[in-house]
A and B are shown apart, each in its own frame.
With several copies, the nearest count.
Chain A
Amino acid sequence: MTTQTKTAKGVEQRTDVTIRFAGDSGDGMQLTGTQFTRTSAIFGNDISTFPDFPAEIRAPAGTLAGVSGFQVHFGSEELHTPGDEVDTLVAFNPAALKKNIEDVVKGGLVIVNEDSFGKTDLKKAGFESNPLEDDSLSQYRLIKIPATKLTKEALKDSPLGTKAVDRCKNFFALGLVSWLYGRPLEPVVEWIERKFGKNPDVANANRDVLRVGHAYGETCEYFENTYQVNKAKLTPGKYRRISGNDATALGFIFGARLAEKDLFYGSYPITPASDVLHALSRYKHFRVKTFQAEDEIAAICSSIGASFAGDLATTGTSGPGLALKGEALGLAVMTELPLVVLNVQRGGPSTGLPTKTEQADLFQAMYGRNGECPLVVIAACSPSDCFATAIEACRITLEHMTPVVLLTDGFIANGEEPWAIPDVSQMKKIDVKYAEGVNSNGNGEGGFLPYKRDDRLVRPWAIPGTAGLQHRIGGLEKQDITGNVNYEPANHQHMIDTRAKKVALIADNIPEQAVEGPDEGDLLVVGWGGTYGALKSACDRVRSQGKKVAHCHIRYLNPFPKNLGDVLKRYKKVLVAELNCGQLRFILRATYLVDAAALNKVQGKPFLISEVENKINELLAK
């Protein structure tokens, strides 16, 4: 919460606010958060969200393991992260309070459902004494609401059963918080009607409770004032909310259309990538073929087959799944077929922290295969950026006949932000070059040469069904030009060099590396992927304090933009900040011999802006 001005009539003006809804997995916190986000977006704020699921489907009620959280950051200025500190925590049970209270800013609002602070509830959360009664929360503004009781009362005439009634209490909280932040109820009411249309008892109950919650805010006198967060000055246009996984799915569909191809997505469910499969399977009318394979190996292999047969082939997974795809990815490199491999990174190693975010698969994307096996790696930086980056992955894979690994992460995959809906008519077609016929020089006898390259070293794509271009490819080393199996030493060296060069040449077909901030200076903060928002915000802050700090966000991780080495040299110091143990830093050190400093965090959580800011200041002070 950066700025605050008190207006008359107890309405406090804020530039931005961070609210976290937390409760048991069954308490509907994700829904509450999503609805509040939706309203704020429609209202015109900039938003950024961070849902945080437990690993279990439904851990035992009331336990710490079962706590589900949803953080929303909304503001009247541009936002790039879901917020460092929580201004308002809505905690639906003791476990939720315990797990989240540390993130609340001192003096922040803590709204709890006091009805769920019974003895057993407290015990399940491991409280020795009741925090609502001892003075452990004295640093916060504690608001105790009897949400369960009030919900029951509100619905005493409802035909719903006890359980169903109890399930409505999240709408009480939503109503209350909507009142507190001056959000309209209409969008929620509308949604309730759409969603529960077939079940009017439920719709009525939820709507009634929502209104009761709202009214309760007005009348209860707990709150000194309400808050106002004005509309953000966003670039004019049409907006929607989008999560990273949805944006990736849309990006693939666009990629296929822009290339005039069918889309094939072969995948095996895995958290947090499954939603891309779910999303794509709803777009069959776009000629999207989704294939839920028997495992990740079958998923990528089916995609390679679909690519061979002429579809725009994509496959998606998360860390452990990418490990399984390594061998087949080598086949795609060897056969030089287009293929996009999406990896929604999660906490590792091994099964690790399946529902948490991390950036520790860069090495795996770059090197997780046998032999010298170069391919393209690019990463998206925010939920909405997944759209553009997915299209870019499709473009590169089709134009250069090389597999592309597209990295996102659990944080941006599940997080949401407003998205200025792009203009379809402005989008550039993807130019796919197909083999046009027998390409052997002179006598037609030689037949089709599948490894005869163009000046970008790209081989021709001849699609089964095309008469006269029959050819055979495979994983053995092949003779250049003919593609025949070949074991000769000089040919192998040539092909190793050629495959590397083909990928390196893609640097000619991507933008140069840009920085935000001064072109040279004291410090360059380098990052990649989903940490963009935190790094950008931290750099903005220190720059606003007059410091000569620039931000270099690398989207193209292999090959690097051609000017990257030069960019790195223009600053006295370089800091690489990553949610891993320093993988990009390692690659930059090796590539450019730059003595970059490191900020690393491996906690299953994104950076706080303040963590980055502190590190920047520490480096500048040295």
Chain B
Amino acid sequence: MSTEALPQLTAKDFASDQEIRWCPGCGDYAILAQVKKIMPDLGIPREKIVFVSGIGCSSRFPYYMNTYGFHTIHGRAPALATGVKVANPELTVFVVTGDGDGLSIGGNHLIHAIRRNLDVNILLFNNRIYGLTKGQYSPTSELGKKTKSTPMGSVDNPLHPLSIAIGAEASFVARTVDRNVQHMAAMIKRAAEHRGTAFIEIYQNCNIFNDGAFLFATEKEQKDDTTLYLEHGKPMIFGKDGDKGIRLNGLEPEIVSLKDGNMKEDDLLFHDEKLGEPSLAYLLSRMRYPEFPEPMGVLRCVDQPLFEQGVHKQINDAVKAKGPGKLEDILLEGDTWDV
């Protein structure tokens, strides 16, 4: 790694020359803008960054970044990223995927990347619909959803991205929403800084096929009452006037009012990203609108061994123990004889 001072880059330097081809009004634009914006802050030269994606509207993302990029095939981005990262751990790798790409066809690669704790950042654009194929329901679509493929409503119980990620041993799990650009930027930055697989679910509005899916979390009038912005070490408080909190009743979270003074901050659940066991993160992942405010922010962030580091450590250990392999030597392994 060079020690020269890097030229000061701006968001613009991270824009490729390709025309952006999302529908006007699509939430993807906001995400792209924030990703470009935080890039200079990471202090990583463009050539050391790789964006890998699958197939879907969201997966067009790499084309718009002036970094190395790979628009792969449907669902396989995490697998491909694993190869990139094992081949060269020095690269900073982002995986961009959708709720269909990442959780339908690609669910298995996603959970395996997560459990291996590869040092990649996975941005899952959850619009609860298949955008690119023009509007079928996805594994995150709510039960009863009417779409082109479910004219009488879907009968599949949906998956919850954060729960499945936590079930797959995730070391970093966060959630944000396209319309809250500052928070989104902060989350993506936190993800990039995390060593290990950072999984972020980004609520993303598809204004063509599933418009308004996340209005509850973005509309001024209600969002403070329907979302809970997590802060490490802080009590879980939400509501327009910070007048509500989350308390634990046994293993069940409950909403309490801070207004009447019966309840103090200290009675509330305090957030702790760093817990060794992910039970709190899991519990948070179950809190859902309208019963609960939906948690936004980092649910979990712990240090765990990195997969690619393990691979390279073994290589280095082997080289140390046996010396760098000599071709002549392996030819002579086992019994040899002369004729």
Interface size class of A (residues with CB under 8 A): 35 or more
Stretch from B60-68, B234-242, B260-268, B283-291 forming part of the interface with A: B60-68
- Taken together as a complex, chains A and B put the C-alpha atoms of A350 and B73 apart, in Å, by 8
A295-B104, A298-B76 known; A270 vs B133 contact (CB < 8 Å): yes
A305-B83, A467-B47 known; A292 vs B149 contact (CB < 8 Å): yes
Stretch from B50-58, B182-190, B250-258, B298-306 forming part of the interface with A: B50-58
| Residues of chain A from 254 to 304 with CB closer than 8 A to chain B in the complex | 254, 257, 262, 264, 266, 268-271, 274, 277-278, 281-298, 301-304
Q: Which residues of A contact B16 (CB under 8 A)?
A: 472
**Complex: chain A residue closest to B53, CB-CB:** A474
Chain A interface residues toward B at CB < 8 A:
38, 41-42, 44, 56-61, 63, 65-66, 187, 231-232, 234-241, 250, 253-254, 257, 262, 264, 266, 268-271, 274, 277-278, 281-298, 301-311, 313, 320, 327-328, 330-331, 335, 350-351, 420-422, 424, 447, 464-476, 484-485
- Taken together as a complex, chains A and B put the C-alpha atoms of A494 and B228 apart, in Å, by 55
A294-B107, A305-B70, A472-B71 known; A285 vs B321 contact (CB < 8 Å): yes
Q: Which residues of A contact B325 (CB under 8 A)?
A: 253, 283, 285-287
**Complex: chain B residue closest to A53, CB-CB:** B134
- Taken together as a complex, chains A and B put the C-alpha atoms of A443 and B22 apart, in Å, by 30
Chain B interface residues toward A at CB < 8 A:
16-24, 45-48, 50-52, 55, 57, 62-63, 65-76, 79-88, 90-91, 104-105, 107-109, 112, 130-134, 136-137, 139, 148-152, 156, 208, 311, 314-315, 317-319, 321-325, 327-328, 330-339
- Taken together as a complex, chains A and B put the C-alpha atoms of A320 and B71 apart, in Å, by 15
Q: Which residues of B contact A295 (CB under 8 A)?
A: 75, 104-105, 108
Q: Which residues of B contact A236 (CB under 8 A)?
A: 338-339
Contact B76 A328 (CB under 8 A): yes
A285-B321, A289-B311, A302-B83 known; A241 vs B73 contact (CB < 8 Å): no
- Taken together as a complex, chains A and B put the C-alpha atoms of A234 and B338 apart, in Å, by 10
Contact A240 B332 (CB under 8 A): yes
Contact B79 A302 (CB under 8 A): yes
- Taken together as a complex, chains A and B put the C-alpha atoms of A542 and B66 apart, in Å, by 54
Question: Top 8 A-B pairs ranked by shortest CB distance?
Answer: A305-B83, A474-B71, A286-B325, A302-B83, A472-B69, A284-B318, A301-B79, A309-B87
A290-B149, A294-B104, A475-B73 known; A187 vs B80 contact (CB < 8 Å): no
Contact A264 B45 (CB under 8 A): no
Most chain A beta-carbon contacts within 10 A, residue among B65, B91, B136, B338: B136
Q: How far is the CB of B167 from chain A (nearest CB, A)?
A: 16
Q: List 11 A-B contacts (CB under 8 A).
A: A57-B22, A240-B336, A264-B87, A278-B148, A281-B149, A287-B319, A305-B83, A307-B83, A309-B50, A331-B73, A473-B69
Q: Which residues of B contact A281 (CB under 8 A)?
A: 148-151
Contact B339 A239 (CB under 8 A): yes
A254-B327, A305-B70 known; A56 vs B21 contact (CB < 8 Å): yes
A285-B321, A291-B83 known; A473 vs B71 contact (CB < 8 Å): yes
Contact A250 B331 (CB under 8 A): yes
Other-chain residue from A60, A464, A472 in contact with B21 (beta carbon distance below 8 A): A60
- Taken together as a complex, chains A and B put the C-alpha atoms of A239 and B332 apart, in Å, by 9
Contact A187 B335 (CB under 8 A): yes
Q: Which residues of B contact A231 (CB under 8 A)?
A: 339
